[in-house]
Amino acid sequence: MWPYYLLFFFSGFPALLYQVVWQRALFTIYGVNIESVTLIVTVFMLGLGLGSLAGGRLSRVGGLRPLAAFGAIESGIGIFGACSLAIFDHMGRLTAGHSLMTTGLMAFALLLVPTLLMGSTLPLLVEHLVQRTRNVGQSVGALYSVNTLGSAVACFSAAYVLMRTLGEARTVRVACAFNLIVGATAWVMSRRLEPEHPKTVAEARDAKNSARFRMCVVLAGVVGFIALAYEIIWYRLYSFTTGGSAPSFALLLGFYLAGITYGSLAVRDACLKKLAHDVPRTLWATALVVLLGSIAAFLTAPVLARAVVVHVPLSITFVLVFVSAALLGSTLPLLAHASIGPSAWAGSSTSYLYLSNIVGSTLGSFVVGFVILDHWSTPVTCALLLAIGACTFLVLAALARPSARLMAVGTGCALCLVLGLSYTSLYSHLYERLLSKTEYTSGFEFADLIENRSGVVAVKADGTVFGGGIYDGRFNLDPVHDVNGIFRAYAAAGLKPDANNVLMIGLSSGSWAQVVASNPGVRHLTIVEINPGYFQLIEKHEEVRSLLRNPKVEIVTDDGRRWLRAHPEGKFDLIVMNTTFHWRAHASNLLSVEFLTIIRQHLKPGGVLFYNTTSSDRVLATGARVFPYAARLSNFLAVSDRPLTVDKARFEKLLADYRIDGRPVFDLSRQQDRDKLREIAGLLGQESDVHGVYESGPAMLERLKDVRMITDDNMGTEWD
């Protein structure tokens, strides 16, 4: 059987590469706000589900060679893949910035064809193999295992090699080549096979109408819900732990898929030997793996939090993800083995189980990621999922009628009950541990912690803000006692003293926004912030609270790039971005050549973009080459279409008159304040060496002449 396994392995490899690149490309077009992300992921999963149904129907066509159909589908995926990024870019330009419904319909239209084709392959090959093995569990387990293994290998390849060295476009070309080779190989193999023996429609109808089959279809969906809901939670936790690094999701998904691979492979062997014709025993085995998988998944978060505190390498903590996925992932082939006989249309019947599993997975990511986590904390959500897992265990145990196993059932339920009731202690100081790691001390607690569907925002007692597990600013407006580099916000007024209409992308603590809004020359400040959790924090801090009620401030919850493309008419004198670290996931969406080109279209003549480079030479080089005029101030870059000139006397007077909530920023009766005012005013235009505070554009261009620019395709340093 190994040729079929190799085919499906190399089918899974490009499928995951497409998912990583396509979702990334669509996020670049439609934004990485939670609404766009949820919509795109849901559409992707929905397409796979519909494809499964289509593949099941196709497998019932009389005279059809499933292997030949599989080859044609793989070739079709490869052909679409070759054109995919160009199609996405063209359609994105036409629809970017439209309503959420329009975005969803367009994403559905873009992804329907390839995901439909991808989802149809499993039922077709199951139909082919069951005719040869006469064992549904063995066939489904083996195919599911090798296909998932291909996807897992693709995850690790993308994280460590492909996305880093090839970028999006060339990674897609690699995936296309695999598809075309698999398609051609499957077609050649199909020519050597005898025609399949047809099954009767009555046999298929009897199988699908049985009560056990219908119940297994429902349970496949429930287990899919649990598994994907935990994956959403795990991604949030690992992303928080790593500060939002791009490879963290690929590594998590790789271990998750590797776990499913192992679990499905174990099912294949079990169905071939111990569970060959024993339905009650198969159902009982399914009940046990659901119980153990739910417990392992529930314990993953507290184990991770305690492991990083004692310096356990992060890669070791993925073992529990692997175990949880192996247990929960083994349920699909087990349910297929328990509910589908080898004499029925195996491919068609499997498609219903697969569809239900995908629908459940989609609901798990949507309901938990988009709804529940917006109202409940991570610990409470995990306790809810544990309860759902325990109920699923009871239903499966009842179907298996384990009269001799009542003690085992009671023990399993009691264990789930004990864990559920003790979740508060198990999950105690979860995010404090994940942030502090080896520096965590008993009793440390955040002054404020906000969890919502957009992420996690935490604040220490000293006012330091952490967004998604990485430093994101502090509550401080005082340039004399500067603990957050707030002098750069005041310097923005010197770069563009006549700025009336200002745009700020990103809000964080609100300190920068408060300084910019308090500039007497600013008449209107538009702030675009992706996470509304920051609004709750600002309301609690007196120094920035007035920002939320300032009549000249307009705050919008959206992705910055998406908002700009949705408002082509917007023109600004000054655009400010205190951008996050350049290596974080999706950071290049606000740093690339393509984004800076969009920014130029929104600047008035002589307008200035002033943004944080987080000390990245590639960010500096990109901005300095896209715009004709540039200057570096500390780790910030100012760029414009016209020369950047500074009137020092005017800037000093502006700083002297600066007031926030009616109070002067500088107390000119104190020497310390006068010195700081002159220091800030003297920073702009004062040429220094590379290690100094200010650096001119020509000096930067000469120093960075060999540094690569950041593009949407190469994604800067995200995968490094």
For residue range 605-633, what is the model confidence (pLDDT) as tens digits? Answer: 999 999 999 999 999 999 999 999 999 99
The model's confidence at residue 390, banded by pLDDT at 50, 70 and 90, is very high
Instruction: Specify the pLDDT at position 487.
Output: 94
Structure tokens at 52: 């499964």
Render pLDDT for 517-564 as a digit per residue (tens, 0 to 9): 999 889 999 999 999 999 999 999 999 999 999 999 999 999 999 899
Can you tell me the distance from the alpha carbon of 157 to that of 150, in angstroms, rounded to the nearest whole number? Answer: 10
Instruction: Fold for 1-138+146-198, please state it.
Output: Growth Hormone; Chain: A; (1.20.1250)
What one-character-per-residue DSSP string does 338-364 give? HH--TTS-HHHHHHHHHHHHHHHHHHI
Can you tell me the distance from the alpha carbon of 505 to that of 106, in angstroms, rounded to the nearest whole number? Answer: 26
Mean pLDDT across the chain:
89
Lowest mean pLDDT among 68-72, 159-163, 187-191, 236-240: 187-191
**Predicted confidence (pLDDT) at residue 154 exceeds the cutoff of 60:** yes
CB 32 within 8 A of CB 559: yes
Burial (0-12, 13-18, 19+ Cβ within 10 Å), 274? exposed
Q: Tell whether domain 200-445 is in CATH 1.20.1250.
A: yes
Instruction: Specify the pLDDT at position 275.
Output: 61
Helix (H) or strand (E) holding 695: strand 694-696
**Predicted confidence (pLDDT) at residue 144 exceeds the cutoff of 80:** yes
Q: Report the percent of the chain where pLDDT is more than 70.
A: 94
**Predicted confidence (pLDDT) at residue 255 exceeds the cutoff of 90:** yes
CB 144 within 8 A of CB 129: no
- Every domain of the chain with CATH number 1.20.1250 lies at 1-138+146-198, 200-445
The model's confidence at residue 236, banded by pLDDT at 50, 70 and 90, is very high
More confident call, 135 vs 418: 418
Render pLDDT for 171-226 as a digit per residue (tens, 0 to 9): 999 999 999 999 999 888 887 754 444 444 444 444 555 788 899 999 999 999 99
Instruction: Specify the pLDDT at position 491.
Output: 93
Instruction: Fold for 479-703, please state it.
Output: Rossmann fold (3.40.50)
**Predicted confidence (pLDDT) at residue 462 exceeds the cutoff of 80:** yes
- Every domain of the chain with CATH number 3.40.50.150 lies at 479-703
Render pLDDT for 559-611 as a digit per residue (tens, 0 to 9): 999 899 889 999 999 999 999 999 999 999 999 999 999 999 999 999 999 99
Q: Report the percent of the chain where pLDDT is more than 90.
A: 63
Render pLDDT for 8-56 as a digit per residue (tens, 0 to 9): 899 999 999 998 898 888 888 878 877 777 777 777 888 888 888 888 8
Instruction: Specify the pLDDT at position 97.
Output: 65
Can you tell me the distance from the alpha carbon of 420 to that of 265, in angstroms, rounded to the nearest whole number? Answer: 31
The model's confidence at residue 691, banded by pLDDT at 50, 70 and 90, is low
The model's confidence at residue 346, banded by pLDDT at 50, 70 and 90, is confident
